[in-house]
Structure 1
Amino acid sequence: MSAWLSRKVSSLNLQELNEFDGSQEQKQALKELGKEFEITTEKLRSIVKQFTFEMQKGLERHGAKVAMIPSFVTGKPTGMESGTYLAIDLGGTNLRVCKVDLLGNGKVEIQQQKYIVPEAMKTGEMRQLCDFIADSVDMFLTEIDTDSYSEALQLGFTFSFPVNLRTINRGNLMQWTKGYCCTGAIGKDPGLMLQDSFRRKNMKVNVAAIVNDTVGTLMAHAYRDPTTFMGIIFGTGTNAAYFEKMDNITKWEDDITSEEMVVNMEWGAFDEERRVLPMTIYDNRLDRESINPGTHIYEKMISGMYLGEIVRNMTLGLVDRQLLFDGKSSPEMNKKWSFETSHMSAIEIDTSSDLADTQYVLETVLGIPSTTLMDREMVKTLCRLVGIRAARLSAAGVAAVMTHCNLLPQDACTAAVDGSVFEFYPHFSHNMMKALKELFGEEVEQKIKFSQSHDGSGLGAAVIAMQVSKGN
């Protein structure tokens, strides 16, 4: 492996690309790509400025792209609450069903089971999806033996899609994301439809709250750490929630005594007008071939569902120019979505002298007939360009919330983070913090802490169900 590629594994700049050992054409191609995917500090600042502007629009009126949806969650948990509650989390790939025992003192016991959501359920009728969820909950309750509970179990429904809430447990689905496209759902109430499935199966389960996964992540971590101000998902998709002052939610029309409420930002839809996000031809192709073209542009540039596809598009572009794999692809590489973000992770952490793990991904998994070390170094470079850009764009969203809430002069705070990209993608959190330091200075590292919140959305949904059932 070339010395330049192994020198600074968590960063990549245009000067380093100048030192690439390939042919002049390969070197020039990588320099061009490096420039396209570079997010300078100046560009970061312009993105943060636009982000805060769109946040403000979302707080002022309904129908904004960054929707800034009031969650109806107004109280912070003390950590002393207790009781037994159910939670389900419908995400991109799995349905997770949990029984949560809140024990007080910030302690919990959780029993849970994951069920794979069949692909057909993601694009079929919404009623079938709700019946699948109810069947899964029924199986789970049978396995853990809940016959001792005479009253209906209160359930928090983590539904990780944009819902315009009318109350804490009622609202209308605004649009699908993350590969879902069920019919008979847009404009309908997912909580009511799930409750109907429970009713038809004679199950003693009450949908007490519809919870976005970011809101759940925030509340779960707040049960343990009172400094938590924000919940973020960097996984299959991305989104964020934070505590907002009620006076700033000027579109709110109902009376409320609380001084603050959790706002579900739905930040994946940021800059759908493409004012500041640096879209490349590879992003445009991905967007055009996705099931929701033209929407959730920000999410498509930073989320696990999409990063590998961006790299695949870049790779094929170099193949077409005869600059990679001797101009040869493979049926698997030509297949959309075949280059998974997990492949990127494996390639990024490959430090072997011959990039053997990278060779395995390219030749064995993706079927490229043969690769040279130079090929493998080029693909690793592509992965790093896309991964670093994703982290820096992610930091822009965090910086926008910090700026909007004027957090720097305040005491240190915690952002609870869940999701496979944050947890597993190499150097992701490091590159986020590096971008934040460029924006706010070195002291920002003492002001904000990113804390991994494993499966926090399930616990958070149970905490919110508890708050609802006790009238908090």
Structure 2
Amino acid sequence: MLHNSDARFRIEGASAAQQQAVDALAQQFLVSDERLAAIVKEFRRRMEVGLAADCTMLKMVLSHVVWRPTGRETGSYFAIDLGGTNLRVLRVTLDGAGGATTEHQKFVLTEDAKRRTLFDFVAQCVETFLDDRSLRPAASAPPLSIGFTFSYPIDQTSINSGTLLYWTKGLDVPGCVGRDVVRLLEDALLRVGLRARVAGVASDTVSTLLAAAYADPAAQMGVIFGTGTNAAYYEDVAAIAKWKGPDPPSREMAVSIEWGAFDSDELAILPYTPHDIKLDRKSLNPRRQVYEKMISGMYLGEVARNVVLWLADQRLLLDGRSSDVLNAMWSVDTSYLSAAALDDSPDLSEIREIIEKTLNVPMSTLVDRRIFKAIAILVGERAARLSTVGLVATLTKRPALLDRPLTVAMDGSMYEHYPGFDRIMTETVSRFIPARQFANIRFSLAKDGSGIGAAVLAMLATQHSAAAAQ
């Protein structure tokens, strides 16, 4: 039986069997505060394990970024931002007052790039960006210095080297796992005649954190909720048992949590449904990135598609009808769920368009469309609430920092565009942190953070490399 607060999942006009099925879905997808608290506790424990030694769940990758920008730095720097769907090449000009202007070009990753030619594709895009703007350096000029945001798990051994651990976000390029992604990129740039040096490599979350820190000295976390998800934060070096290097002057280091892999070892902590298990089993990376698969934009549409087919197979939705489109994996984009959750028209016309035109199911009733909307809300709300597990665990990792203003920089399509995601996330976080400390937290949209941050990284690495050489 649903609680009174879940009356929005009462489907007007539904049969008893349909309502019972929706009630069962609500019980599966609505995660209680008590369950979240237990997951947060385990997440914190796994963070400690990852800081103590290399492990297979939360990698806690040490970025070797041991500086914070002051916001007063100036100059123009090049950056490459490689994400799960797009690649951006940028020239970023830092204004010395915490601001930055960019000129950039976006390229959509081709299927060939995702499966075979990724680094050559990146190099060709860099060449296009430079040539289109007459920025290609002369043969006699020093090598181009570039900051590189690489949004995949690496074992980082220095500020400008990192070994790829495994692919995520649907990429599967052979010959790369176990190799230094910086060398792979620099070699590809040489093949198109560009002499370039990657000054620094970082995850998208470390870059987001650096971009935020350039604009705001209170920035402590950088978080991505988009195609995939991850977070980075500044950790006290004394708490990093596996760090064997010298203590940096700042006593802090940016750490990339790689939290999308939480619970991937055991599949025993998160609130899985049969629909999540089916997605994981049929994915390119089964038993990996299972936390990411429950909260990020690449996967939520597929979770919902599994639910729709489950109901259709019982003749509780669409009168058992389907289509070749609906039967195909990944055919339900997460943007369809966003549109469905927002549809308040009397006949749910937007949802009808999605079902009948986009998914090519011949006909839908108003009850079908109401159930489809309930599915979209349930899948999205669970994602927003589960996203707070990593946030709360990380924010409370250094509780003294909560006694003063603290900024969490957020980037990604889920946070920015999915209806209610930011509101539900913020409200849920507030239940786990004392009101006095929660009042100090500011969640800010870090638009273009991973691109600007790569340039900030290039600036910091270049400056500190020059200082060390003197």
> What's the TM-score once normalised by structure 2's chain length?
0.95
- CA drift of 1:243 comes to 0.3
2: CA distance between counterparts of 1:95 and 1:140? 12
**Alignment length (residue pairs):** 459
Can you list the C-alpha shifts for 1:251-299, whole angstroms capped at 9, x where unaligned? 0111132300000000000011123201100000000010000111100
2:213 alignment partner in structure 1: 222
**Match 1:158 to one of 149, 165, 183:** 149
Flag structure 1 segments of 5+ consecutive residues without an equivalent: 1-10
What's the C-alpha RMSD, in Å, of the aligned pairs? Answer: 1.6
**Match 2:27 to one of 17, 35, 43:** 35
Give 1:281-430 correspondences, 5 Å limit: 281-406=274-399, 409-430=402-423
1:89 aligns with 2:81: yes
2: CA distance between counterparts of 1:222 and 1:200? 35
**Match 2:243 to one of 252, 266, 287:** 252
C-alpha spacing 1:284/1:464, structure 2 compared with 1 (3 Å): same
The percentage of aligned residue pairs carrying the same residue is 43
**Worse-matched range after superposition: 444-453 or 192-201:** 444-453
SS of equivalent to 1:326: helix
**Match 2:119 to one of 126, 130, 146:** 130
2:50 alignment partner in structure 1: 58
- CA drift of 1:205 comes to 2.0
**Match 1:22 to one of 5, 10, 14:** 14
C-alpha spacing 1:388/1:342, structure 2 compared with 1 (3 Å): same
SS of equivalent to 1:374: helix
- CA drift of 1:12 comes to 9.4
Contact 1:437 1:443 in 2 (8 A): no
Q: Which amino acid aligns with 2:245?
A: D
Q: Which amino acid aligns with 2:293?
A: K
Contact 1:14 1:31 in 2 (8 A): no
SS of equivalent to 1:404: coil
2: CA distance between counterparts of 1:302 and 1:409? 26
- CA drift of 1:17 comes to 3.1
Contact 1:93 1:117 in 2 (8 A): yes
1: CA distance between counterparts of 2:130 and 2:202? 21
- CA drift of 1:40 comes to 0.3
C-alpha spacing 1:202/1:256, structure 2 compared with 1 (3 Å): farther
1:243 alignment partner in structure 2: 234
**Worse-matched range after superposition: 292-301 or 447-456:** 447-456
Q: Which amino acid aligns with 2:326?
A: M
**Match 2:263 to one of 271, 275, 281:** 271
SS of equivalent to 1:458: helix
Q: Which amino acid aligns with 1:204?
A: R
1: CA distance between counterparts of 2:137 and 2:78? 15
SS of equivalent to 1:218: helix
- CA drift of 1:409 comes to 4.3
**Worse-matched range after superposition: 446-455 or 111-120:** 446-455
1:146 aligns with 2:135: yes
1:116 aligns with 2:108: yes
- CA drift of 1:408 comes to 6.8
C-alpha spacing 1:412/1:12, structure 2 compared with 1 (3 Å): farther
SS of equivalent to 1:387: helix
Q: Which amino acid aligns with 1:160?
A: S
